[in-house]
Structure 1
Amino acid sequence: MSLRHQIIYRILISSLCMVVLGGAIAIWQARQSVDKEVEASIHLALQLITLGIADAPVFQQVDDLSHLRVLQETRHLSIQLQKPDGQLIQFTGDHQPSNPEEMPPAWYIRLVQENYPKVEHQLKTKDGKVLNLIIQAQPLDEITEVWQESVEFFASILLLTLLTFAAVNLVFNKSLKSIAVIVDALRGIESGQYQHKLPTFAVEEFDNIAKAVNHMMVELEKTRQENRALTQHSLAIQEDERQRLSQELHDEFGQSLTAIKVMAVTAAHQKADTRKISISITEVCDHLMTVVRSMMQQLHPLVLTELGLKATLEDLVNHWAERNPELELTINCGDEVDYIDKSITIHVFRVIQECLTNVIRHSQAQHVNIDLELLDSPHAQLQLRIQDDGKGCDFSKINRGFGLLGMKERIKSLNGEILCRSQPGEGMSISAWVPVV
């Protein structure tokens, strides 16, 4: 069910509840009003009768009704005078509405009208005859007035409800147009269209959503460009690595194998110096073994598979320390890291390798500290911290380079988190947390 229909149904149900509750209250008030009006009319009639006959406590004759003329304009009452012979004389009671269409419906009369008691008052004539004055409630005209007021009340509620529906529809039409624009933009995001920005909306809530969506588009486009650049860079590195390996295989292995072949052919002659040729072949083979180890180390460190992460990192640190004696490298690593899954250790190794490469190339640092430990609480995770005292950098001004981006992608691929902090002249600190299953 759409939001518009839900709101309309709720307004309709609320209006019906208001009508039912208002109807019950209106009927209760109508009963109270009619009761008070009838009671007041009866008391008024009795007072008029008392005042009308105060100067003549008894009638001169039975037909002398001049003292009761004051009762003819009394409202809501049927007043009759019963003679001793039983004849009834009607004074009031004809209060039917002049327009029959103004009559309230029968069900409303039954709900409002009550069984009002009949009031009788005895009068005496001069000759001792007793007349009976009968006063009975006839609240139809009052009920008619209350009915008209109720009709006006419910007509007002109906009008207010219609106006509410109209106002809600106007607001929803405007809101739904804004929602449709936002939904179209989200569908565009789903299909990879990040260039179409949402406009500014007059409604604050929609405008905040639009700003959030536009910011998300900018970040997604930025991330896509970074990933595209990183992919292209990775492909370029891969091709360069293949070309370098191909060139090295051609230069080293081709020349060495050719030399071995020539020396083997030469050794077949009777006058050849076999001992000297053997020594030369051995030297060429040793050189090839060194080249193979170097190539294998560049492709994948075998020591990582054979001896574990701790030994591999120590070997890496020793290698960089030998090549850069002016740089002090320290590493703190426990034996428990050797039991981590291999898919994690290779990424952690590459991150540390990239960090050391950046330190050597850019930081001009004198001290580098590497801490790697396995934490048990609150969840098992591997914590890596690398800190140097180099010249640092301002990340907002770094426009090129894929080292940091590559490290971030490696850590994120392991469902981890990485935090890089640096200020010019204050070195750099890299912290990473990788969950360990």
Structure 2
Amino acid sequence: MRLSRFLMLRIAAVSLAMMACALLLALWQARLNIAREERGATETARLFDELDGLESGPAGDMPAHLSALRQISAQGRLRHLQLQLQDDHGNDLLPRLPETSTPLQRGYAWLLPPAYGGVKPTTPQWNLQRADGRRFHVTLLLDPGSERSESLTDIAGLLGILLGYGALTLLAVYVALRLALRPMRKIIYAIGQYQRDRYDYRLPPLRLLELHTIGQALNHMAQSLASSQEARRRLDLQLRSLREDERSRLARELHDELGQRLTAMRADTAWLVRRSLGQPPLADVANALAEHCEHVQHALRDLLQRLRARQPYEDEDEPLPLHRLLHELVDSWRDMPDQGTRFELAMAIDEHAVGGDVALTVYRLTQEALTNIARHAQATRVGIRLALHDDGRLEWSVCDDGNGLTDPGQAAYRGNGLVGMRERVWALHGEIDMFATHPHSSRPGLTIRARLPLQPVSATSLTNDRLAHGEPDYPS
């Protein structure tokens, strides 16, 4: 259904309901006016009946007739008329009705054209002559006040109907728009998912044609972005795999070539040291040469450790020994000379459940994090932790008590090291965030936390996993 038709149907329904209410109100008003006219006609007939009795009735009934006339005059039920009764001396026998008009009625009367077209009408007057000689003078004064009051009431009713119709129309438009645009919450939710790079979310079919078209366009865009992102992830993993292979090749070459030659050089320098005993100048040179060879061999060992995670003798097809690798990495930082930082490693996860690519990523993340801490943080304590998160993913974190970053939230988008960590996590469908360890301290420190699947996953399996853990397919 089109949005315009949806709105028009609901506005038309409210309009019909309002017209029905207006018709009922008009019928009620007509019934009220008829009742007033009937009461006015009855009171007029009663008036003339009492006047006839006053003129021709017995003298003893005169007080009763005068009392009835006073009651008729006081009630004000005569339609458009006022009764004035005087005796033969000109004394008023009926009380004059007080002025009861409100300021609104007086203002309304001022706006109206002059009564009777500005021409004063003839006032009906006649005398009542009794048989006993008493006379009464009767005057019927024309009174347009009641008609003005009724017309003002009619105008007020009409304005009330118009105001009610306008208010109900606005309410109908509001309700119709809310009902029509309710699927927009799903669209907004989908856009929020796409902003968080979750292109696996799809909008369900929507009722309105315009919103359904938007939803299908968003689904198509998300499908294209998901395919592109998945292709980028595969390419990134392939590039990193090639990089690891190149690291391994370089490590093997360095180990096979330089390692053997350095071993031979250290054997030669050891022979020179022994032969130079008793020859101080030559002994000093031989000892210095031996120390240089030892330093080069230690530097080569450190370089090999950074280039490849496995030992040269380990099989590439075997699972990566993540526990041992992290312990060796942390121990290498602990054993550095003049090291004032305390390193703590806590692992509460089965390394056999972690896939090879994920384990290698965790190892490289830890390498990069510890290198950044040593270069910039000036920390006294560093904690590395691996655990299984509630959603079944691997949670890795490194926290320190160092200088921290000015804006940890944006740090992952600046600097080669942090950007590289973010890209590694992204390539495995993981999440990474950075925040201050102690936000209100002069040394806030930094915590880097990532959540990774235990095994590499595809976009489809990731979607099913999210739904299995209670993530809504669409907002309620």
Normalised by the length of structure 1, the TM-score is 0.43
